[in-house]
Amino acid sequence: MSTTTLAGATQDEMRKRNLGSLLRHLHVNGACSRSELTALTGLNRSTVGALTAELEEAGLVRSEQPIGHGVGRPSIMVAPAGERAYVLAVDVGVEHASVALIGLGGSVLARRELQHVPGETPRKLIQRARRVVDSLVATAADGSVCIGIGVSVPGVVRHSDGLVHIAPNLGWIEVPLGSIIATVLRTNLPIAIANDADLAAIAEHARGAARGLSHVVMISGDVGVGGGIIIDGRLMTGAGGYGGEIGHMVINPSGGRSCRCGSVGCWETTIGEQAVREALGVLTESEVRASLLEATRGDPRLAEVGRWLGLGVANLVNICNPQAVVFGGMFGDLYRVVDEAVAQQLGNSLAAPLEGLVLRSAALGPDSVSMGAAERAFLSLLDDPLGHLARCRELSAA
Amino acid sequence: MSTTTLAGATQDEMRKRNLGSLLRHLHVNGACSRSELTALTGLNRSTVGALTAELEEAGLVRSEQPIGHGVGRPSIMVAPAGERAYVLAVDVGVEHASVALIGLGGSVLARRELQHVPGETPRKLIQRARRVVDSLVATAADGSVCIGIGVSVPGVVRHSDGLVHIAPNLGWIEVPLGSIIATVLRTNLPIAIANDADLAAIAEHARGAARGLSHVVMISGDVGVGGGIIIDGRLMTGAGGYGGEIGHMVINPSGGRSCRCGSVGCWETTIGEQAVREALGVLTESEVRASLLEATRGDPRLAEVGRWLGLGVANLVNICNPQAVVFGGMFGDLYRVVDEAVAQQLGNSLAAPLEGLVLRSAALGPDSVSMGAAERAFLSLLDDPLGHLARCRELSAA
């Protein structure tokens, strides 16, 4: 219950909301007949017709004659116009960065990778990225519009202005990434910068292993352990955007290891890549991935890691009562090996939150972070399609 | 982002939403002038006038001539009609139970306590409560309507049907409380049954220490340790209603104590009443409360409990990134003694989620649970005032 906001619903807001609902559906589920949209919205035929006409005039959707040969007059199909409205998705990863144009509907229109240059400042990286962005945008269709920029960083990010407090694996501290991107790309477009684990959770929720669910905990990462928590269908960002720092849940303070965060016994020290590497007796990240793929279910070398993974999952299940726990990154492979140990620990936790709970590995690959950055950037368009589009056209022209 | 629901906003839904917004504002903040409501909603004067007239006709609000002597024509005041629409709030506590009629706007219209009878079944308790309910309802104003029943239980409750899986301090296991109440009270009215810690959080959020905030973690309880987590202004219930079981977050699995839940090293074993009793060297709950009130800040007997309290709070802050952590029940008194130890542990956790964080004791007393049960029961009315009222009138007549 929000006790302070009291927004009056006006005619204009209602229209905005209906346009947003239609466009969101097409964005997530793809082409759909007008009669399906009528059934789904509860709006009448003519209203759906008028709304889709507005979206089509704005260039956000496209109507197509159906090919069907069924009985009766076939309903017109409506599809998202992915090549007309797109976002720029930037994934600053630990190994490399990537830049992609992702169209409405989720199609990847163009994509390029950038290798990191040792010692490079964030500004230099974005300056290199700018040349890539320019070359990608040059390939975009005539009359198409960029409606926002989504950026993923493996670090702690303030949502309000995209300040990266710390990204340990990039060596970044207090980097004002939002303003660097705006300056270097010379853009006034909205820029949404978020933590990679949060964005992976958004992507798995929109198009992956957690599709259609409302309450999800996603555990991802490799060196670090990140989390993304979906509550009532939306990412739990918390007050500043820092929600989901599950890797620094202290779980073994008595005799546990020091964490790079300065605390002792964080979950990350028990299940992170270093712990897995030591358990397997291997040296590099790629050896970890290979060993996990080779390991058989119940591999005794990973019993202890599995126990800690289960303990932490049980904590999150008791706190959040999700429908699903999704394991991404290295944890997708790890979970396949230690699923029994995890189940055993869950069996020791409260019974009720286990009702109907499913645990599964992520469905999307490493690109999920980039997809999540795109989904995050699409949010404003889906909340107010025509208004946001008009604002972006103005900003691009300015 | 909800990917599956696609509700079309109709004229009727818009009106419902506006009526709900107005009534919610009056319910939480009390009497308000029509011009304030106009300013707050962004709706025009005549729309606000028409909506308040509808609410007044339904008996949910009352217009009052203002007494002011200011310049210009004074705006008509609108107040919630607390005596005309009320809920029944039942708090099944560990020590005793209480039954209250709570009016729209939050005023307690009538209230009675029932002592527990040792060995009494849940059905017998509700049968005794029924006589109290009947006597309270007999005092309600003519033409007033009960619009729902809210029930608090110190246990694990399934929201969908009010099944109490377990309420250890009542000795209840798998009690179908929702259907018992419906049968014994012979009512078809909506019954919302929830965990006491969740309801205390709802109350502190609506009318107490977390008023006006959107992201809150509340820690409450005595024997057990309960939690209520508010995300984006709403209680985080989780998939089944079991969210917020923070007392069973395992925090000391290596050498920690067995918990009554069957697990080892739950947070509850380190900060619950038993741990505090042992630290203080006292025997009973009332001695604990008295000792905590007498204890000076930084009392060394409580240093260890304070450290564990801080460790768990730091975990919750890293996971949820709240604006405030509120300490209720015994923890309100405990926090005043160990606040420095808690701050020290928080200082070891990630820095970013501490931005702007406040920690404070609860503002409401033990009645907060009953108030939270009432707020929970009012939700349906505030989502759809006229529709819900009409349904309740029908159900009461049936």
Average pLDDT value over all residues in chain A: 92
**Degrees to nearest 5, angle at CA B27 with B25 and B30:** 85
Q: Which of B2, B41, B173 to mutate to test the interface with A (most CBs of A within 10 A)?
A: B2
What average pLDDT does range A281-288 have in this prediction? 90
Confidence (pLDDT) at B169: 85
- For A294, other C-beta atoms within 10 Å of its C-beta total 10
Nearest CA in chain B to A28: B3
CA distance B129 to B92: 10
Asked if B319's CB is within 8 angstroms of A319's CB, the reply is yes
The answer to whether A283 faces chain B, any CB pair under 8 Å, is no
pLDDT tens column, A333-354: 999 999 999 999 999 888 888 9
Q: What are phi and psi of B2, to 5 degrees?
A: -90, 120
At B351, the pLDDT band (50, 70, 90 cuts) reads confident
pLDDT tens column, B214-242: 999 999 987 789 999 999 999 999 999 99
Alpha carbon distances (Å) from B281 to A244, B292, B302, B363 = 38, 12, 11, 28
Using left for φ > 0, alpha for ψ between -120 and 50, and beta otherwise, residue B134 falls in: alpha
The answer to whether B314 faces chain A, any CB pair under 8 Å, is yes
Helix, strand, or coil (residue A137): helix
What average pLDDT does range A41-59 have in this prediction? 91
| B159-165: long-range pairs with CB below 8 Å, 24+ | B159/B192, B159/B193, B159/B194, B159/B237, B159/B240, B159/B241, B160/B240, B160/B241, B162/B191, B162/B192, B162/B193, B164/B122, B164/B193, B165/A351, B165/A352
CB distance A271 to A312 below 8 Å: yes
Residue written as tokens 């108030």?
Answer: B371
- For A291, other C-beta atoms within 10 Å of its C-beta total 20
- Taking the CA atoms of B209, B221, A242 and A229 in sequence, report the sign of the dihedral they define: negative
Q: Which residues pair with B125 in a beta bridge?
A: none
ipTM summary value? 0.92
CA distance B72 to B56: 25
User: Does pLDDT of A226 surpass 80?
Assistant: yes
Q: How many residues does chain B have?
A: 398
- For B67, other C-beta atoms within 10 Å of its C-beta total 7
- pTM here? 0.93
pLDDT tens column, B303-338: 999 999 999 999 999 999 999 999 999 999 999 999
For the sheet with A145-153, list strands across it. A108-115, A96-103, A85-92, A145-153, A191-195
Contact partners, residue B233, CB within 8 Å, separation at least 6: A1, A2, A3, A5, B205, B214
Distance between start and end Cα atoms, chain B: 40
- Taking the CA atoms of B78, B83, B86 and B88 in sequence, report the sign of the dihedral they define: positive
Confidence (pLDDT) at A379: 95
User: Does pLDDT of B66 surpass 80?
Assistant: no
Confidence (pLDDT) at A100: 97
Angle between helix axes A368-383 and A11-29 (nearest 10 degrees) is 160
The answer to whether A244 faces chain B, any CB pair under 8 Å, is yes
User: Does pLDDT of A250 surpass 80?
Assistant: yes
The answer to whether B315 faces chain A, any CB pair under 8 Å, is yes
Confidence (pLDDT) at B3: 36
At A365, the pLDDT band (50, 70, 90 cuts) reads confident
CB distance A252 to A269 below 8 Å: yes
Nearest CA in chain A to B207: A3
CB distance B249 to A353 below 8 Å: no
What CATH number does the domain located at A85-198+368-397 have?
3.30.420.40
**Would you list the domain boundaries of chain A?**
11-80, 85-198+368-397, 211-361
Contacts of B351 in chain A (CB under 8 A): 165
**Degrees to nearest 5, angle at CA A272 with A268 and A274:** 120
| Helix, strand counts (H, E) of chain A | 13, 16
Nearest CA in chain A to B376: A1
Residue written as tokens 């929970």?
Answer: B376
More confident residue, A5 or B87: B87
**Degrees to nearest 5, angle at CA B236 with A345 and B210:** 125
Using left for φ > 0, alpha for ψ between -120 and 50, and beta otherwise, residue A59 falls in: left
Instruction: Please choose, from the candidates B221, B219, B201, the residue with its C-alpha nearest in 3D space to the C-alpha of residue B211.
Output: B201
Confidence (pLDDT) at A253: 93
Confidence (pLDDT) at A5: 43
What average pLDDT does range A221-247 have in this prediction? 92
User: Does pLDDT of A376 surpass 50?
Assistant: yes
Min distance B364 CA to chain A CA atoms (Å):
17
Q: Which of B214, B245, B260, B313 to mutate to test the interface with A (most CBs of A within 10 A)?
A: B245
CB distance B210 to B360 below 8 Å: no
User: Does pLDDT of B350 surpass 90?
Assistant: no
The answer to whether B46 faces chain A, any CB pair under 8 Å, is no
What average pLDDT does range B182-197 have in this prediction? 96
Per CATH, B85-198+368-397 and B211-361 having the same topology is answered yes
Min distance A74 CA to chain B CA atoms (Å):
23
Asked if B348's CB is within 8 angstroms of A311's CB, the reply is no
What average pLDDT does range B274-296 have in this prediction? 93
Task: Average the pLDDT over each of A74-78, B10-14, B141-145 and give the range with the smallest value.
Answer: B10-14
| Two structure tokens written together for B11 | 């004229």
What CATH number does the domain located at B11-80 have?
1.10.10.10
What CATH number does the domain located at A211-361 have?
3.30.420.40
- E-strand ranges in A210-366 read 216-220, 226-231, 234-235, 324-327, 358-361
CA A10 to chain centre: 32
At A255, the pLDDT band (50, 70, 90 cuts) reads confident
* For chain A, percent of residues with pLDDT exceeding 70: 95
pLDDT tens column, A67-102: 666 666 678 899 999 999 999 999 999 889 999 999
User: Does pLDDT of A6 surpass 80?
Assistant: no
pLDDT tens column, A180-207: 999 999 999 999 999 999 999 999 999 9
Task: Average the pLDDT over each of A36-50, A304-318, B163-177, B196-210 and give the range with the smallest value.
Answer: A36-50
The answer to whether B354 faces chain A, any CB pair under 8 Å, is no
Min distance B135 CA to chain A CA atoms (Å):
31
Asked if B321's CB is within 8 angstroms of A237's CB, the reply is yes
* For chain A, percent of residues with pLDDT exceeding 90: 80
pLDDT tens column, A114-159: 999 998 999 999 999 999 999 999 999 998 999 999 999 999 999 9
Helix, strand, or coil (residue A257): coil
